[in-house]
Structure 1
Amino acid sequence: MMQKIQRFGGAMFTPVLLFAFAGIVIGISTLFTTEAIMGGLADPNGLWYQVWNILLQGGWTVFNQLPLIFVVGLPIGLAKKQHARCCMEALVLYLTFQYFLSTILSQWGANFGVDFAAEVGGTSGLTMVANIKTLDMGMIGALMISGIVIMLHNKFFDTKLPEWMGTFSGSSFVVIVGFFALVPVALLSAWLWPMVQSGMRAFQGFISDAGALGVWVFIFMERILIPFGLHHLLYFPFYYDSAVIAGGVYSAWATQLPELAANSGSLKELAPYAWPTLTGLSKIFGCPGIALAFYVTAKDSKKKQIAGLLVPITLTAIFCGVTEPIEFTFLFIAPALFVVHALLAATLATVAYICGVVGVLAGGLIEMSALNFIPLMASHWSTYLTLLVVGLIFTGIYFVVFRFLILKFDFKTPGREDDEEIKFHSKKEYREKQNGGSIEGSSETASHGDTLAEKILEALGGKDNIVDVTNCVTRLRVNVKDENLVQSDKYFKSIGTHGIKATKKNIQVIVGLSVPQVRDDFEHLL
């Protein structure tokens, strides 16, 4: 079950990769169309405004159509065959489900406690999906239906029908089965989802009343779940769905940007919902402190080598918001440090929140600048100055705490290893180890012709040992048949990755931001 949940979380990153560019377009376009910042140049009747408004509306595509995008995106990561056909099936059956649900509510809505005659939005619980008036199930509904379709696709796509029924095979058969399977799903949704909506509204009230404590618990849980690949499932409903505000924090914040830019009042009072995305503060301010502690505590003979490792992965965390490369450099060597990291990250976010800092601050510096600093600096510079001061103080705290713990407990963080410099190994050495031999002491180096995907496949026991593969932003997620055929974390680092996270038959190879290309190569090899 854990493997399936992790794979599901990884698959959700396929559409999420679109958010960074969309966010940048919205942030910059909002800046250039806000009269409070641009003055008369942003007059709605002028050419400047109209041109930027075209780009702004285009930038909203991803956020305005999130359910549809996730419906189509999920099969890319989870379908076991014919991914493109599964995407089509998912879209068709999701729209079919919405027509079922819309008709059920229009006829019997009162029996389910739904006033279908009400206007969409607000507290009605209704929305529009592809011009279909229906129950607002947000991304949860989209993921549910897409997951059902993927299951049907994997089970029935290759079903052999009599030759005279060949027209109904493949995708047609999946849609036929799904058509009838979704009728009871629509009925259950009409009955159960209004109760879920009531519960979500109660949860929103609870988390809002929890104040700083709620912030601390949320941020701590988001960080501590990273090793298990489950953090996506925690924050998705907050960021992109209606856990704390209708439409999610990202959508609500981007919509409110013009108002925020024109008002110099407290951001915390203007947008009290925008605290879940404070997860990004530890990326900007925590990771440099961690990296500096690693460098200072490294052996003198390895400082230059470690600097070459730490500089790019720290910049990746700061600018792109991807922390896994630096976090996974010490997670498995010293897991206690990761717990400390989660504690400090939660405390940093909570202190910033108490000081009035909120916003879309989950990504790296690029995303933060587009959605916060650039459009809002003129009106809220004092808030961002406060954030800078608090952040730099915590950079120092991170450094002091990590340095103390590394030296106190002699954690073998990068540059403090007892072994000699890691070298690359060859397929021959790998096969010798598989046969009971040892790769230690061998002088043969890896073939320069081997791609990283080939090396990873060999280290995972070969293609006959692979069950399935998907990826998230930095990790290649693979389920294997026999975990005993998988090489060690040290070996994976020697072939050019950042190591692995192994949970029985579920193996996560930490590749870095090039993982989509590596996965493509990996699948071609399979």
Structure 2
Amino acid sequence: MNKEEKNGSVIFATIQKIGRSFFLPVSILPIAGLLLGIGSALTNQGTIEAYNLEGLLGNGTVLHVLFSIFSQVGNAIFGNLPIIFAISVAIGMAKQEKAVSALSAAISFFVMHTTINALLQADGSILADGSLGSDVLDGAITSVVGISSLEMGVFGGIAVGLGVAALHNRFYKQELPSALSFFAGVRFVPIISVLTYIFVGVAFYFIWPLIQSAIFSAGGLVTESGYFGTFIFGFMERALIPFGLHHVFYIPFWQTALGGTAIIDGVTIAGAQNIYFAELASPNTIKFSVDACRFMTGKYSFMMAGLPAAAYAMYKVAKPENRKLVGGLLFSAALTSFLTGITEPIEFTFLFIAPFLFIIHCVFAGISFVLMHLLNICIGTTFSCGLIDFLLYGPLQGNAKTNWLMITFVFIGYAILYFFVFKFLIEKFNIPTPGRENSGETKLYTKDDFKNKNLPSENTEDELSNVILKAIGGIDNLVDIDACATRLRLTVNNPDKVDEELLKQNGARGIIKKGLGIQIIYGPQVSIIKSNFEEFVEQVS
């Protein structure tokens, strides 16, 4: 590997690590959205009157108070995502002593915005009574954790998280003269972070208005590109799945002005998902914004209908003697996609053996986003578009707000489309999907194999951890351990030492190698595998 290739690998591994650090704050959104969705729906006066539920859910009842709490708790989480991102990214990017990194990020977040606030007061943008000056543009200044500051959204949180993590990784072992030794090591990190983020706050005061203008322009470009822009978003969101970079791509659209801005109840909201949940919480919302939902709703069609139909197509084209064996695996994967929107068990089934099928799937995904945009369907989501989110943000919110009834026709069309296209192409090109193999190259796992990791002898946690460590080239080749929803994500010194066959023989559904980053696909239980592996590595280190 020459120097240029090595630099490219390091950059990709860093971007990949940033992407997976986004996964922690994103994983908080389902519970926040669940609380907000249920609370808002069941305290909405229109809903209460429509179903004659005054006695049960009307003002003053115990359930009304309870659901109001649900709504406000969910709203509090969505309203404070910038600091949540700051802490989560700092945790995700820190190599060791992650708790110190989290504390430093929280402190730095307050320091940065307090610095900006002081400068805004000094230039007259914020007046003595807390009101805004006459020259301040709408939405340029907002309340961030109670501090009037520039509207930076989650970008501000990410900037804090990344910067603090870099300082943390550089200084958490910092040595100082003996007279100052109490402040050495991890205690030095929050000190240097505070000092640094005073200057970062000053810098953002000058440069963020320019960045803000650029973001609004970029968001406007996507919006003005209409249905083509919607297609590109949907296509790219799926196409980046194999590289684990889809979080990096869609989060800015969901959480910043790239996804649009809207004024809701007198407050300027930036980001598609933030707009949707602000509308969800507002009693004045008559119909949800399709311009916001264009970045979310498109996933329901292929997650709930298309990919389960593709799994059924793979079942139908399997050899008759293998159908019983392969049926359990495909049914489990299809049900997971339908209920929760976790699609990787199906997508990776055909990604590695027939990449062109995955490209076709990405095209269908882009078209799905366009159809939702065309049909004015607006069903929000917290994390992934399965049945749970569909019921919560579709039927429960009413057809007048969501136009959810129209999506049922798209579901039917997508189920038929995926089934016949996949069935035809698999048979036409004799693609070795599960149950069709003529050799042992494509391993077929039963449901129990998938669950238990198909270990060589007794199914103990340490055995799998030992196999993983051995397969990646030992402790000296391991740099970092992390995971997302379905993949164990490792950074190594030398990717050539990784034994892919050994990993596959012991339960891995697939391996992705890109530069110094290794992604081992295990499925939804990967978080347990990660925890066991971290403990095992700590024991053998």
Name the TM-score class by shorter chain: 0.7 to 0.9
* 1:109–1:116 CA contact under 8 A, matched in 2: no
| Residue 258 of structure 1: how far off its partner (Å) | 6.2
Number of the residue aligned with 1:8: 18
Q: Secondary structure at the match of 1:363?
A: coil
Q: Does 1:251 align with 2:282?
A: no
Number of the residue aligned with 1:376: 398
Number of the residue aligned with 2:6: none
* 1:23–1:370 CA contact under 8 A, matched in 2: no
* 2:174–2:184 CA contact under 8 A, matched in 1: yes
Whichever residue aligns with residue 149 of structure 1, its letter is V
User: Which of 395, 402, 410 matches 2:430?
Assistant: 410
Number of the residue aligned with 1:513: 524
Number of the residue aligned with 2:505: 494
* 1:212–1:350 CA contact under 8 A, matched in 2: yes
Query: In structure 2, how many angstroms separate the alpha carbons of the residues matched to 1:318 and 1:294?
Result: 16
Query: In structure 1, how many angstroms separate the alpha carbons of the residues matched to 2:350 and 2:502?
Result: 16
Q: Does 1:301 align with 2:324?
A: no
Structure 2's unaligned 5+ residue stretches are 1-10, 262-268, 446-454
* 1:33–1:53 CA contact under 8 A, matched in 2: yes
Query: In structure 2, how many angstroms separate the alpha carbons of the residues matched to 1:259 and 1:98?
Result: 27
Could you give the per-residue CA deviations for residues 42-85 of structure 1, whole angstroms, max 9, x where no partner exists?
43344432221122212223211101111111233221111111
| Residue 272 of structure 1: how far off its partner (Å) | 3.1
Distance 1:120 1:31, change over 3 A: farther
Query: In structure 2, how many angstroms separate the alpha carbons of the residues matched to 1:119 and 1:411?
Result: 66
More off after superposition, 290-299 vs 491-500? 491-500
| Residue 122 of structure 1: how far off its partner (Å) | 7.5
| Residue 121 of structure 1: how far off its partner (Å) | 10
Structure 1's unaligned 5+ residue stretches are 425-443
Could you give the per-residue CA deviations for residues 189-233 of structure 1, whole angstroms, max 9, x where no partner exists?
112211122222223333223222221111011111111111111
Q: Secondary structure at the match of 2:220?
A: helix
Number of the residue aligned with 2:375: 355
How do residues 414-453 of structure 1 correspond to structure 2 at under 5 angstroms? 414-420=434-440, 422=443, 445-449=456-460, 450-453=462-465
* 1:125–1:135 CA contact under 8 A, matched in 2: yes
Q: Secondary structure at the match of 1:273?
A: helix
User: Which of 94, 98, 105 matches 1:79?
Assistant: 94
| Residue 146 of structure 1: how far off its partner (Å) | 1.1
Query: In structure 1, how many angstroms separate the alpha carbons of the residues matched to 2:429 and 2:283?
Result: 47
User: Which of 477, 480, 490 matches 1:465?
Assistant: 477
Q: Secondary structure at the match of 2:377?
A: coil
Query: In structure 2, how many angstroms separate the alpha carbons of the residues matched to 1:221 and 1:194?
Result: 29
Q: Secondary structure at the match of 1:497?
A: coil
Whichever residue aligns with residue 253 of structure 1, its letter is Y
Whichever residue aligns with residue 12 of structure 1, its letter is F
Q: Does 1:145 align with 2:160?
A: yes
Number of the residue aligned with 2:496: 484
Could you give the per-residue CA deviations for residues 384-409 of structure 1, whole angstroms, max 9, x where no partner exists?
22201112111111111112222222
- Percent identity reads 30
Whichever residue aligns with residue 150 of structure 1, its letter is A
Q: Secondary structure at the match of 2:353?
A: coil
| Residue 422 of structure 1: how far off its partner (Å) | 4.4
Q: Does 1:215 align with 2:230?
A: yes
Q: What's the RMSD between the two structures over aligned residues?
A: 2.5
* 1:14–1:76 CA contact under 8 A, matched in 2: no
| Residue 116 of structure 1: how far off its partner (Å) | 8.4
Number of the residue aligned with 2:305: 285
Number of the residue aligned with 2:8: none
| Residue 119 of structure 1: how far off its partner (Å) | 9.1
Could you give the per-residue CA deviations for residues 434-490 of structure 1, whole angstroms, max 9, x where no partner exists?
xxxxxxxxxx943433443333222222222211111111111101122222122x5
| Residue 147 of structure 1: how far off its partner (Å) | 0.5
* 2:22–2:248 CA contact under 8 A, matched in 1: no
| Residue 109 of structure 1: how far off its partner (Å) | 6.5
Q: Secondary structure at the match of 1:479?
A: strand
| Residue 311 of structure 1: how far off its partner (Å) | 1.4
* 2:21–2:89 CA contact under 8 A, matched in 1: yes
Query: In structure 1, how many angstroms separate the alpha carbons of the residues matched to 2:535 and 2:134?
Result: 50
Q: Secondary structure at the match of 1:305?
A: helix
Q: Does 1:333 align with 2:353?
A: yes
More off after superposition, 137-146 vs 182-191? 182-191
Whichever residue aligns with residue 278 of structure 1, its letter is T
How do residues 225-264 of structure 1 correspond to structure 2 at under 5 angstroms? 225-243=240-258, 244-245=260-261, 246-257=269-280, 263=286
Q: Does 1:184 align with 2:199?
A: yes
Query: In structure 2, how many angstroms separate the alpha carbons of the residues matched to 1:343 and 1:8?
Result: 26
Number of the residue aligned with 1:28: 38
Distance 1:161 1:30, change over 3 A: same
More off after superposition, 455-464 vs 24-33? 455-464
Query: In structure 2, how many angstroms separate the alpha carbons of the residues matched to 1:109 and 1:299?
Result: 75
Query: In structure 2, how many angstroms separate the alpha carbons of the residues matched to 1:14 and 1:469?
Result: 14
* 1:120–1:126 CA contact under 8 A, matched in 2: no
More off after superposition, 290-299 vs 219-228? 290-299
Could you give the per-residue CA deviations for residues 320-342 of structure 1, whole angstroms, max 9, x where no partner exists?
11112211122122111111100
Query: In structure 2, how many angstroms separate the alpha carbons of the residues matched to 1:423 and 1:161?
Result: 57
TM-score (norm 2): 0.86
